[in-house]
Structure 1
């Protein structure tokens, strides 16, 4: 799953909490598999997405960082960043001052007070901000000065080490690195990065084109070229290997849009063709060897998907979201079925079963049971 720095959370009472959360997850999962596509209109006794009123209907939230069932951050258009600490009952606008012209596409949160947010775009539109006080103040820690670079997404291995991904510069993807929690950044050498294909790029669609699992492993997703690919690094972005992914390709609108790894071996990839008038067959794939090889899902999501997350305490269940709905797999990505038809761009889950989704028209929802 996307690294929201879960591995560094307090471990006291972990065994008891994990057992309880696992039992809750199993019960929720059993019910969710029986929920029809109109789940969001069904009884609240069944697991379903429950919309939370953010008060900003004109904002599209493609950045999402779930800290727990009570706390989550979202980031989106018009330089907007919101935070909740009461399960979505209320939201505080904690947007960085002067960022109204920026488009935030990714946010990574360490807890309720500390977060790092990425703005995307050409040249100086690509920026990184960090807060240590719940968004009361922000520090701009990076501003891109290379007109050829366009940053798409970021991820963290732990509270200190993280990476950000730019589309290719001089024929190779550019990687930005931090070792102090996003307070400062440096461009990594490109000598260990394979050459990019013509037209190849990352998709800034839901903050999941760059994901980490564990202390050193990271994967990046590509599209827009002849072949969709997933690149993997086992040394925090210094060297990379590339593998073809069997998702739609051969067009700037097609490719892998999101990745989710539950450990360093098992991952899922989702995407397709983001144009609403185009079909997206074979829009999901899975790997069991750390991304060296990928297999197409036997039954893929019904349409293009831009976000994915593993359900906590499950080795086989995951969610994929997109503008036309949410799909669920209970067999590790082999088969998917639609369980909700609401529009979402990204999804994130936490160990206490705090699954959140966000998207257009200010939509943010939490999985309820």
Structure 2
């Protein structure tokens, strides 16, 4: 039977809607638990994780070249920052804390930072541009460790104690997704903490977050920034199904450090460890329970995958969005 034209249009629309915005799993295996991901464009994407593993794809994640960094076979690379198909930086936990760089697609790595201070544990890093970057680590003498680079990661300089955020006892950063620090213009930074307390820091100025707190497993895990908006996810990774106090959204951020809270907090959802903006109002978050997307800055959320992922990033030079998780799981959002 021939369908009326209007019904045919409706069915076509519904068909497109049904397949829109889902996550395609590109890779799984037992090689590593992945927590670092850095896509460049539709084709080039890097990933990092446990057992000294770093992966690189040049065909949009369809195939991967994996390398185990010599001398770091038992180490965990919790974050990675890539700049092109040949250049990337990784951070290794724990003592000694190390930052390594490759310029030959991972064939060789140079140690560009090394610190054996007791308690050193690097959690995440971020770059404002190809030259200027920041790394954050767990507290040393009651303050978060902060170091900067202004030469594409070739050298790193630790910030003075006066320029490091002072944290409470039992408060630190989670190294769950490489997402708890964002570098801004002029080496200003935003960082989120968890544990016994959970706060947002603008440099050394703290702002209390209405997230779960009080336990080692609670608090903020990651933040994303788009213009003046800040999206923060967290919860309790030991109680991943709890639906209270897991999300915060700030609608205005000013460089002076003042914050104007939007609906505070926005509609809560369960534990998530990674978050990124897709556009000005579109946010995507991932966690142990799956992937959720919001088109209204977090007021409402739609689950688009039940696959577990630790981290999510939007590509620097395209709209591609990639995810990484346990068991060498890598995913890509399909629109």
Q: Which residue of 1 is the match for residue 325 of structure 2? A: 359
**How far apart are 1:215 and its partner, in Å?**
5.5
Q: Which residue of 2 is the match for residue 262 of structure 1? A: 226
RMSD (CA atoms): 2.1
Match of residue 101, structure 1, among 51, 64, 74: 74
**How far apart are 1:31 and its partner, in Å?**
8.6
Q: Which residue of 2 is the match for residue 92 of structure 1? A: 65
In the alignment, is the contact (CA less than 8 A) between 1:297 and 1:334 conserved in 2?
Answer: no
| Runs of 5+ unmatched residues, structure 2 | 1-12
Q: For the residues of structure 2 that align with 1:249 and 1:338, how far apart are their CA atoms?
A: 25
**How far apart are 1:231 and its partner, in Å?**
0.6
Give the direction of change, closer, same or farther, for the CA distance of 1:33–1:213 in structure 2 (3 Å limit). farther
CA shift digits 1:272-296 (9 cap, x unpaired): 0011466241211111222735453
**How far apart are 1:65 and its partner, in Å?**
0.4
Write out aligned runs for 1:148-159 (5 A): 148-159=119-130
Q: Which residue of 2 is the match for residue 193 of structure 1? A: 164
After TM superposition, the score normalised by the length of structure 1 is: 0.81
Write out aligned runs for 1:210-359 (5 A): 210-214=181-185, 216-225=187-196, 227-233=197-203, 240-263=204-227, 265-276=228-239, 279-290=242-253, 292-294=259-261, 295-301=263-269, 303-311=270-278, 314-350=279-315, 351-359=317-325
- Structure showing greater Rg: 2
In the alignment, is the contact (CA less than 8 A) between 1:248 and 1:280 conserved in 2?
Answer: no
CA shift digits 1:70-109 (9 cap, x unpaired): 1100000101000000111210113321211101110011
Report which of the two has the higher share of strand.
Answer: 2
After TM superposition, the score normalised by the length of structure 2 is: 0.89
Q: For the residues of structure 2 that align with 1:137 and 1:326, how far apart are their CA atoms?
A: 34
Please tell me whether residue 144 in structure 1 is matched to residue 115 in structure 2: yes
Higher relative contact order (CA 8 A, sep 6+): 1
- Report runs of 4+ in structure 1 exceeding 3 Å deviation: 30-35, 213-217, 293-298
* Matched length: 317
| Runs of 5+ unmatched residues, structure 1 | 1-29, 36-44, 234-239
In the alignment, is the contact (CA less than 8 A) between 2:51 and 2:68 conserved in 1?
Answer: no
